[in-house]
Amino acid sequence: MKHPWRIKALILWLVCCLAPVGAIAEPAAESLAESPAESLAESLAESLAESPAESLTEKLDDESFIGSLAAIQEQNREFDASQASYLELLKLIEERDGPYSDELIEPLTGLGRVNLEQARYEEAEPLFRRAQHLSHRAEGVHTPRQKEIIDLLTRIHMELDQPLEADRQQSFSLYISEKLNGKDSTALLPALYKIAEWYLETGQFSRSRKMYEKAADIIKAHDGDQDVKLVEALRGIARTRQLQGICCSHRPLLEVLNILKAQGDTQPVAMAHAMAELADGYSISKKGPQALELYRQAWLTLQNEPEGDRRENLFHRPEQIAMSKIERYPTPQVFTIAPFQKKYRHHISDPTTDFDPSQKTRQVIGVPVQFLYEQLKQILPSALHDPETLAQLFIELEFTVREDGNVVDIVIAATNAPNKLIRTMKQAMSKSRFRPRVQEGVPIETKNVQLTQVFK
C-alpha cells in the first residue's frame, strides 16, 4: 500500500466514531470486545491491502467515508487531496439532495478552510457565504451553527485589510448569542468574553472594558459580588485600563484578590499570581509602598511550594506591564505594549481616542512596542515608508529597571534605524513600567535588561 498509515487512521476514526455503520457494525463490535480499536484498525488495514479498495467502500456509506477522509487530509495539511475529497463529497450530496441541502454546510465550510489555510481568500469567502446562507435557510438567521463560519469570515476580512467588515462579523456573532440566551443570562458570558478579547486585539480598549463590565454585572446579579466567576471579568477590566494607559487598574485587581481570599481553598500559586498582578496595578498607579508590600507577600506565599521554585516564574526577570498613553515627541505618538495573540495589522478606532474620529481604522506596526504607522511616517524619510522596507529595521536596547519598575539608563546596543526613530523608541521605553525582579521578597534593580524592537 502506498499510504498504509492514512488508511489505518481513517479506519480507526470510522470504527471509533461512526460505528455501527452498515455491514461492518457487528464485526467491528466483536473485534473491539477482543482487542483495542487500534488493533482492529490494523487488521482491517491489512485486509484492505490484500483486496481491492472498493471492498471496504462498498460496505461503508460513501459520503461518510469521503467526508472522514477529507477531514483527515485537512488535519494533515494535505490540502490538494483534501480539496479533491471535499469537492467529491459536495458533488455526491448535490446529486442526491440538490444545491440547497443543509448537508452541504459542513463540506462547504471544510473546503473554505482548505482555501483559507492556503491564503486563497477570494476562493474561500464565497464558500463560507454559501454555507452561511444554507444554515440560515435550514435553521434561521440566528442559528448558532454559523458561528464558526463567522469567525472564518473574520479571518478573511482581516487578511484582506477589511477590519470594519471583520468587526461587523464579530458584532453579529454577539447578537446571535444575545438572541439565543438573552442579554442578562450567565449563558451569554462566553460570548461577552469572546468579543471583549476581539475588541482588545483590535485596539478598541474602552469597548472591550464595557464587555467585561457587562459580564461582571451579570455575574453579580446572579451570584453576588464574591463569586469566583468574577475573576476573569475583573482581570479583563484591569488589562484594558493598563493597555489604554488610564487610571486605577489596581481597583478591579484588589477585588480579584479579595474574592480569591474569600474562597478559602485557593491554591498558593493562584494567590501569589493575584498578589503580583495587584502589585503591578499599584506600581502603575504610582503607589510604591503598596506595590512593594504586595510583591513581598507574593514571594512569601510561594516559599513553601513543593513543585519547584514557582517564584522564578513571577520574578526571575523584569516584565513590561504598561506604557503611558501619549508622548509628544516630535509629534503625538501612541505607544502600546503589544501582548496581542493575533498580531492584526489594523486597529479600529476607539470611542475615547484622542485622534481624528473620522479615521475609522489605523494601521499599527511594531513588536513589542506598537506604534501607529501613519505617525511613524511623519518622522521617517520617504524611502522607509514602505512596510516591507520598514520591516527590515531593528533597534536593540539595553537599560536598567529600577526597583520601582521605572526604566533608566537607556542605551542603543545595535540598530539600523534612523536617528529620529531611535529617539522615538527611547522616549517610548522611558514611558514603560516593568514588574521588577524580586529576591528574598525585596524588589531589586536590574541592569543590562535587553529588548529588541522590530517594525513589522
- Whether 3 contacts 44, CB under 8 Å: no
Are β-strands 361-365 and 346-348 bridged in parallel, bridged antiparallel, or unpaired?
antiparallel
- Whether 396 contacts 450, CB under 8 Å: yes
Q: What percent of the chain has pLDDT over 90?
A: 61
- Whether 257 contacts 274, CB under 8 Å: yes
For the stretch 173-176, contacts whose Cβ atoms lie closer than 8 Å and that sit 24 or more positions apart, written own/partner, are 173/147, 175/142, 176/142, 176/143, 176/144, 176/146, 176/147, 176/150
Residue 322 pLDDT:
81
Mapped onto helix, strand or coil, the DSSP state of residue 349 is coil
Which residues partner with 446 through β-bridges? Answer: 401
Does residue 100 register a pLDDT over 70?
yes
Q: Mind listing the pLDDT tens digit for each residue in 78-96?
A: 999 999 999 999 999 999 9
Residue 195 pLDDT:
98
For 312, half-sphere exposure in the C-beta direction (CA atoms, 13 angstrom radius) is 4
Mapped onto helix, strand or coil, the DSSP state of residue 455 is coil
Segment among 128-132, 138-142, 275-279, 375-379 with least mean pLDDT: 375-379
Does residue 439 register a pLDDT over 50?
yes
Nearest-CA neighbor of 310 among 295, 297, 298?
A: 298
For 97, half-sphere exposure in the C-beta direction (CA atoms, 13 angstrom radius) is 12
Residue 330 pLDDT:
43
- Whether residue 330 is preceded by a cis peptide bond, meaning omega within 30 degrees of 0, is yes
Q: Mind listing the pLDDT tens digit for each residue in 265-308?
A: 999 999 999 999 999 999 999 999 999 999 999 998 988 766 54
Residue 31 pLDDT:
39
Nearest-CA neighbor of 431 among 242, 207, 192?
A: 242
Residue 57 pLDDT:
45
- Whether 359 contacts 352, CB under 8 Å: no
Q: Mind listing the pLDDT tens digit for each residue in 344-356?
A: 788 888 876 655 6
Q: How far apart are CA 431 and CA 410, in angstroms?
A: 11
Exposure string of 135-158, with b = 16+ CB inside 10 Å and e = fewer, is beeeeeeebebbbebbbbbbbbbb
pLDDT band at 6 (very low <50, low <70, confident <90, very high): very low
Residue 448 pLDDT:
95
Cell numbers of 59, please?
460496505
Q: Mind listing the pLDDT tens digit for each residue in 200-248?
A: 999 899 999 999 999 999 999 999 999 999 999 999 999 999 888 888 9
Where are the alpha helices (H) located in 202-324, listed in sequence order? 205-223, 230-244, 250-263, 268-284, 288-301, 311-315
- Rounded to 5 degrees, φ, ψ at 371 are -120, 160
Does residue 111 register a pLDDT over 50?
yes
Residue 8 pLDDT:
46
Segment among 113-122, 191-200, 313-322, 396-405 with least mean pLDDT: 313-322
Average pLDDT over residues 375-402: 92
Does residue 48 register a pLDDT over 50?
no
Does residue 54 register a pLDDT over 70?
no
DSSP letter at 18? I
pLDDT band at 60 (very low <50, low <70, confident <90, very high): very low
For the stretch 234-238, contacts whose Cβ atoms lie closer than 8 Å and that sit 24 or more positions apart, written own/partner, are 234/259, 235/277, 236/193, 236/196, 236/200, 236/208, 236/209, 236/211, 236/212, 237/209, 237/212, 237/213, 238/277, 238/281
Cell numbers of 441, please?
521578597
Which residues partner with 400 through β-bridges? Answer: 408
- The structural domains of the chain, ordered by start, are 320-454 (3.30.2420.10)
Does residue 151 register a pLDDT over 80?
yes
Residue 114 pLDDT:
98
Does residue 20 register a pLDDT over 80?
no
Which residues partner with 399 through β-bridges? Answer: 449
Q: How far apart are CA 104 and CA 90, in angstroms?
A: 6
Angle at which helix 62-75 crosses helix 4-13, to 10 degrees, equals: 120
Residue 55 sits at the vertex; the CA angle it makes with 50 and 57, to the nearest 5 degrees, is: 125
Which residue bears the cell 457587562? 214
| pTM of the complete model | 0.82
Q: How far apart are CA 132 and CA 110, in angstroms?
A: 13
Which residue bears the cell 508622548? 327
Angle at which helix 268-284 crosses helix 288-301, to 10 degrees, equals: 170
Cα 339 to chain centroid distance, Å, stands at 10
Does residue 437 register a pLDDT over 80?
yes
